[in-house]
Amino acid sequence: MAVARVVGQAEARLEGCRTVEVDLAAVESIDGAGAVLLARCLDRLDASGLTTRVIEGRNPDAARLVALYRRSRLVGGAAAHPQTMSALTRLGIATAGLPRQLTDALDFIGRCAAAVPKALVRPRSVDWRSLPALLQSIGADAVLVTGAANLLVGVIIALLGVSQLGRFGAVAYVPELVVVAQFRELGPLVTAIVVAGRSGAGLASEIATMKVSEEIDALRAMGFDPIRWLVLPRCLALVAVVPILTWIGDVLALVGGLAATSLITEMTPRAYVLATERTITATNFFGGLIKTPFLALVIGLIACGQGLATRGGAAAVGARTTTAVVLAIFGVIVINAVFTLFLALLGL
């Protein structure tokens, strides 16, 4: 720090000089950083046309260190300073990259679609043996968290219904509200979001790690198609499991609604069950369940696609996992909205 101060002051006072002599005789000790600052100062003076000279005095070590840093700069050639980009530049770069990202995504979806008939022709090119473990980790292990989330959503809908419908004396309609809201919208949505966060991150980071540790390259070099071998079973497991998780969640949400309503209102559990039974129609039930395989597919494709697109090291795995989760949750919400709109247009 002392060197930084001295160098800074000295440079300002040297204006008008022709020859500069640096006498190291009084230097007690100098470290690498100090030598760098001194070397750069001498470089600048040289560049502005002055003649510089270092007098080593009884300090040959310090002189050697300064000389080393001056020489290494000459050999290596100075790299351009990394320029900090303005927000507008970054926005431009990001925008310019969008078409490429879109074509990459479409390319990946296309290859996944093409992999399905190929897998049917050659069933052995799919890693069926991993399927039970995948069903376990994506499905069975997730029941607790998706179930709890849906139970609480049921409670929340019921509480909202009681507070709002109760103002009109229409508490009797709370069971119907719980069924319609949960079965058609919130059940599939909440379940898929929990699965996207949980399994989306898991699958993306697993495949990303395989990518950076050359396992994907090894698969390809052995004649395997990573999409058929890895992506297909994962998507299949998700498509099989998410509807079941949603259905279990629906049941638990009804329990939550029942508990909340019968606790805070006069409605008996029996009356609640009877009112619920009437409203569980095929339209309500299947109107929600029909979208769950598509939500599952979105999660699987985004997680696996991000995993396979990973390049680099550990930091890239983390970044891809984050992107996968964000995109998967966003994708789930968008697909859910599309279905809702579509069913509404159909009048269902």
Partner 1 sequence: MTSTRPHIIVDDLRIGWGSHVLMEHVDFQVERGTTFAILGGSGSGKSTLLRYLIGLDRPKAGRIDIDGVGSPHVHGGVPPFGVLFQSGALFSSMTLAENLALPLTTWTPVRGATVWELCQAKLDLVGLGPFGEHLPGEISGGMKKRAGIARAMMLEPDLLFFDEPSAGLDPISAVELDQLIITLSRDMGITVVIVTHELPSIFLVANDCIVLDKAAKGIVARGDPRKLRDESAIPFVHGFFTRTSLASSGTQGG
CB closer to partner 1, 101 vs 281: 101
DSSP assignment letter at 52: E
Exactly one of 159, 215, 248, 280 binds partner 1 (CB under 8 A); which one?
215
Exactly one of 214, 263, 274, 313 binds partner 1 (CB under 8 A); which one?
214
Exactly one of 102, 218, 263, 341 binds partner 1 (CB under 8 A); which one?
218
Burial of 58 (0-12, 13-18, 19+ CB in 10 A): exposed
CB closer to partner 1, 222 vs 282: 222
The answer to whether 98 contacts partner 1 (rule: CB under 8 A) is: no
Stretch that binds partner 1, among 3-11, 47-55, 146-154, 218-226 (CB under 8 A): 218-226
- How many CB atoms are closer than 10 A to CB 134? 20
Angle at 265 between CA 260 and CA 268, to 5 degrees: 85
Please give the full DSSP string across 57-82, using - where no structure is assigned. TT-HHHHHHHHHHHHHHHHH-PPPPP
Exactly one of 16, 77, 169, 223 binds partner 1 (CB under 8 A); which one?
223
Strands 51-55 vs 19-23: parallel, antiparallel or unpaired: parallel
For partner 1, the binding residues in 280-339 under the rule CB under 8 A are none
Question: Dihedrals φ, ψ of 72, to 5°?
Answer: -65, -30
SS3 for 20? strand
Q: How far is the CB of 132 from partner 1 (least distance, A)?
A: 13
309 residue type, one letter? A
Q: How far is the CB of 130 from partner 1 (least distance, A)?
A: 8
Q: How far is the CB of 96 from partner 1 (least distance, A)?
A: 13
Any idea which residue has 């926005």 for tokens? 91
Angle at 333 between CA 109 and CA 296, to 5 degrees: 50
Exactly one of 217, 263, 286, 318 binds partner 1 (CB under 8 A); which one?
217
The answer to whether 1 contacts partner 1 (rule: CB under 8 A) is: no
CB closer to partner 1, 20 vs 219: 219
> Which helix (DSSP H) or strand (DSSP E) does residue 154 occupy?
helix 143-165
Burial of 226-244, coded b for 16+ CB within 10 Å and e otherwise, reads: bbbbbbbbbbbbbbbbbbb
Stretch that binds partner 1, among 13-21, 213-221, 240-248, 262-270 (CB under 8 A): 213-221
What is the end-to-end Cα distance of the chain in Å, rounded?
75
Burial of 145 (0-12, 13-18, 19+ CB in 10 A): middle
CB closer to partner 1, 124 vs 270: 124
Exactly one of 89, 101, 213, 283 binds partner 1 (CB under 8 A); which one?
213
CB closer to partner 1, 101 vs 213: 213
Exactly one of 220, 283, 286, 314 binds partner 1 (CB under 8 A); which one?
220
For partner 1, the binding residues in 151-210 under the rule CB under 8 A are 210
> Which helix (DSSP H) or strand (DSSP E) does residue 194 occupy?
helix 187-195
Contacts for 62 with CB less than 8 Å, ≥ 6 apart? 24, 27, 29, 30, 35, 56
Q: How far is the CB of 47 from partner 1 (least distance, A)?
A: 23
The answer to whether 224 contacts partner 1 (rule: CB under 8 A) is: yes
Stretch that binds partner 1, among 52-60, 215-223, 253-261, 295-303 (CB under 8 A): 215-223
Query: Sign (positive/negative) of CA torsion 330, 332, 334, 340?
Result: negative
Residues 123-142: x where in contact with partner 1 by CB under 8 A, - otherwise, as a string? -xx-----------------
For partner 1, the binding residues in 38-97 under the rule CB under 8 A are 75
Exactly one of 2, 221, 344, 345 binds partner 1 (CB under 8 A); which one?
221
Q: Which residues bind partner 1 (CB under 8 A)?
A: 75, 124-125, 210, 213-215, 217-218, 220-224
